Amino acid sequence: MAKKTKEVSAEEKLRSLYDLQIIDSRIDRIREVRGELPLEVEDLEAEISGLDLRLEKIADEIDDFKRMINERKSGIEESKALIKKYEEQQNKVRNNREFDSITKEIEFQNLEIELSDKRIKEYKYKIESKEVVFTESKAVLDERKEVLANKKAELETISSETRKEEDILVEVSEKSASDVDPRLLRAYKRIRGSAKNGLAVVPVERGASAGSFIQIPPQVQIDIAARKKVIIDEHSGRILVDSELALEEIEKMEKKIAKLLK
């Protein structure tokens, strides 16, 4: 004979759901303390990585210009050696045609030397320009690394102070979520995801849902207090519980969390 599944009342569903909200809100507060630090650290790391790549590229460009300078200098030496060779040959020519031919070769090598000198000056100017950019970028990189180190230290200090509590709360949240009706859990996550403050389940305070000034009709308030069904606020879209249930669950969960954190 199949085992009967225990029927869970609406009140039990609401209590489980509000317990989850209490825990998740506490996790939210811990994470709010860290604020934008994790994102700031991530952005700084990306910026530093980009600066490292930029410096590497500039350094490679400087090396390329230095290599081209050395190649031009070698070319100048080769041209000078050829000029010397051609001048010696000029002294041994037998006719004007040979003399003119060698003279043209000498002129060509002199032009090659002039061109190389010009290119060397251009490369040196580019190296100087690149070195200025390199120095400026290195200064920015060093400054960003210092900022990153400070941000990481700050984040580590905050995280170390709350890590144990957060880890315990996350574990409790997962356990509490498993106790919530699957359909309600999906609704809870959807509402919570669209709410700026992460509140999907709120108590009724002074005739309105917490944080709202829009009054809930008296009959709806009676239905909420009866705990016979799950009621969603038509204005905020949040799940509503009565204040008495909320206070009971807050007290219960605070004691449970305090015990776990000892």
pLDDT at 213: 77
- Report which of 4, 8, 3, 20 is spatially closest to residue 241, judged by C-alpha positions: 20
Mean pLDDT by 10 residues, the chain (262 residues): 63 94 93 86 95 97 97 96 92 87 93 96 97 96 96 88 87 91 93 90 89 86 93 90 94 90 80
pTM strictly above 0.85: no
pLDDT at 234: 87
pLDDT at 1: 43
Task: Count how many Cα atoms sit within 13 Å of the Cα of residue 100 in the half-sphere of its side chain.
Answer: 3
pLDDT at 14: 94
Residue 20: CB partners within 8 Å, gap ≥ 6? 173, 176, 177, 180, 185, 188, 201
Dihedral sign from CA coordinates of 93, 99, 101, 105: positive
Q: What is the pLDDT of residues 39-78, one digit of tens each?
A: 999 999 999 999 999 999 999 999 999 999 999 999 999 9
Q: Which residue segments constitute the domains of the chain, with CATH numbers given?
A: 10-24+181-261 (1.10.287.1490), 37-173 (1.10.287.1490)
- Report which of 130, 145, 149, 151 is spatially closest to residue 54, judged by C-alpha positions: 130
Query: What letter would DSSP give residue 4?
Result: P
Q: Which residues of 86-100 are buried (b: 16+ CB within 10 A; e: fewer)?
A: beeeeeeeeeeeeee
pLDDT at 101: 92
Q: Are 188 and 20 in contact (CB under 8 A)?
A: yes
